[in-house]
Structure 1
Amino acid sequence: MTREIVLNDLSDLAQVMDRFPVDDRVPVSMALVPVVNGPSNPQAIELLDATARDVLDAFRALFDADRQRRAAAKDDVARCRQHREAAARATNVAVRLRESARQASDLAATALDARARGEAEAIAARMGCLATEAETHATLLQRKADALAERGDIKQLLAEERDQEMKMEMQETLALAERHLDARRYEEARRLLDSLVGISSVPDLSRTFRTLQNRLGIVKVEAAQSALREARRCHRHQPAAALDLLEPLDLQGLPEELVRHLCGLWLEACRRIGLMGAVYYRAGFGSGAVLMPALDGTWEVVSSIGPRRWERGRRFAPQALRGARALAPIGSP
C-alpha cells in the first residue's frame, strides 16, 4: 500500500527521512520482517536461544498461573452452587414450617380440648420461629451465592460451561437429525435442523450442519418422488388417499419439473373426488387450492397444495379469489 507525500521545502523532507532506506537498509520500525542486526554467528544464535527460553519460561509461568487461577475459580463455582442449593433447601423448610404453623394455629382456635389448644398454640409459635430462622439462613446463603456469581472469573467460567452444554446439545441434535436422514424421515430431520439457532457461531459444528442441510435437500426430493409414485398408484380409485399424500408436501426448493407433476396429479385427484360446483384458485407456481361454495356465500377450502397452503375449512370472500376457474369433475358431462 502506498501513500502520497507532498514536500514543500527541505524542512518537510527532514520530517520523513526515516521513511526511506539508507544504504539499502530499512528502518527497524518499518520492516515487514524482523531485522537482523549484526553478524550471524554461533554467539548470536546462542543469545537468540537464551532469549527464546526466557520468553517460553515466561509463557509457561503465565499458563501455570492461569491454570491455578482456574482451579481456584472452579472451586468457588462449586461453592456458589452449594450455597444456592442450601438456600433452596432452607426456603423449602421455611415454606413447610409456615404451612404447618398455620395449621397449628387453626387447631389452637378450633380444638375441643383446652389443653390441646394450648399445646397447638405453643407449637405454632415454635414453628414460626423455626421458619424465620430458615428464611434467615436462606437469605444469607443466597447473598453469598450472588456475591460469588458477580465475580468476573466466575461469570466467565459459567459462560464457558453454558457454551459447552449448548455445544453438546447441538451435537446430540445433529446426531439425531443424521439418524433421521439415514432412515429417510424428512420432516423429523427438518424440524431438528431448524431448531439449531445460532449454530453458525460454533465453527466445529457448522460444517456438519451444512452437510446435513445438503442431505436434507436430497431426502426432501426423494420423499416427494416417493409420494408422487404412491399417489399415482392410488389416485384413480382412491383420490382422497392421493390427496393425503400430496397435500402435506413442502414444495419449496424442489425441481420445477417435479413440482409440476405433483401439482398436476393433485389437481387431477381433486377432480376425481366428485366436487360439484368447485373452483380452482392458483396462488402462484406450485401453489393452489380447490374450494367449494358455502351457504353464507363464501368459498371454503377443501384441498390445497404448495408453500401458500391453506388449511381445510378456511373460507374466503368471492372477491378475494379473482382468477379462480371452475373445476369440472372427471366423468361429468
Structure 2
Amino acid sequence: MSRSIRIATFNLESLDDTGDLSFEERAAVLRPQLERLDADILCLQEVNGQREAKGEPRTLRALNRLLEGGPYADFHRTSGGEGTKLADRHNLVLVSRWPILAARQYRHDLVPSPQVRMVTADPAQPGGDAVTWDRPVLHGEIELPGGRRLHVFNLHLRAPIAAPVPGQKKNASTWKSVGGWAEGFYLASIKRAGQALEARLAVERVFDADPQALILVAGDLNAEIEQTPVRIIRADLDETGNGHLAGRSLVPLERSVPEERRFTVLHGGDAVMLDHLLVSRALLGWFRSAEIHNEALGDELVAHATVSHSPESYHAPLVARFELPDQTVTETMAPGEPAP
C-alpha cells in the first residue's frame, strides 16, 4: 500500500512575538492555516529571530510558540545546519516529520557578488560596489520512509522593489530622482536573478550526483511563472534547447490547479502567483494533487493602507500531495510486518 505525503510552502509574513500586535492574535489566525495544510514537510519564509537577552544568539522562539501543542510540535526543524546564525528578520525554516539528514545555506557560495559601479549615487562612488543577496538559499536533505532522500530548497527571493542607492532617497518611501529609482530597481533585479541562479546551481550539484534525484524547490519567489527568476530555476527544455538536459528541468505544480484559483497574493486587485512548488521529473512521478488555500486572502495593498496591525499573512499557502511507491514504504518493514 502506498503512503501519501504532503509538502507545503507558506510565507508567514514576519512572524514574531514582539511588537504592537500580540503573538496570540497572530497565532489564532495562523495556527488553523497550518493545521489545514496537514503537511509532513513545511517550507516557511519570513520567520523572525528573537534574543532572550542582549548579546545572546537569536532563536526561533516565535515559531516554537506557534507550533507548540499542535501537529508539528515534535517535527524536526532547521534553518541551515550547525553554526548557522539566525537573522533578526525573514529567516527560512524547514520543518519535517522525518529526519533532516543534512542542511546548509548558500549565499554567494556558488555565485560571487556582482560588482556594479552606480551611476546615480550621490556623492559619486569611486569604484564598484558589491551587490549582495538579501537572503540565502536553504537546502535540506530529508530521509523519507523507505530510505529515499528528498532534496528541498527553500527560497525567498528579493521583491521587485527598488534597492537603496546612496544619496538618492529622501526617506524610506520617497526617491529624489527617477534615475535613482530606476537604478535601484535595476539593482533589485540583479539581486533577485542572482539568488535564482545560485539556487539553480545548487540544484545542478544534486543532479550531477544523481540524475534521478528527488528535488523540490519551494518558497516565495516574488515572481510569476514566466518571469526571469522562475525561468532560471525551471530551466525548461525550450529554453536550453538541448534534449539531453530535459531531465534537469523542474516542473511547477501550480499548473494542476484551475486557473481561476491559481494565485497566492492579491496585489491592488491583481491575483498573482508568487509562491511556487517546483519538482524534478522523478518526484513528479509521485505527484497527485495541489491546493492553494486562498479563500480568505486579503489584498495586501488595500490592507496596508486600511488595516492596523493585521494578524494575517498576505500570502496563501500552497500544498502538494504525493504518493510514495509501494516499494519505498515496504523496504524498511520487518519481515512479516503488515503494510501500513
Q: TM-score, normalised by structure 2?
A: 0.24
Larger Rg: 1
Select the structure that is richer in strand: 2
Q: Larger RCO: Structure 1 or Structure 2 (Cα < 8 Å, ≥ 6 residues apart)? A: 2
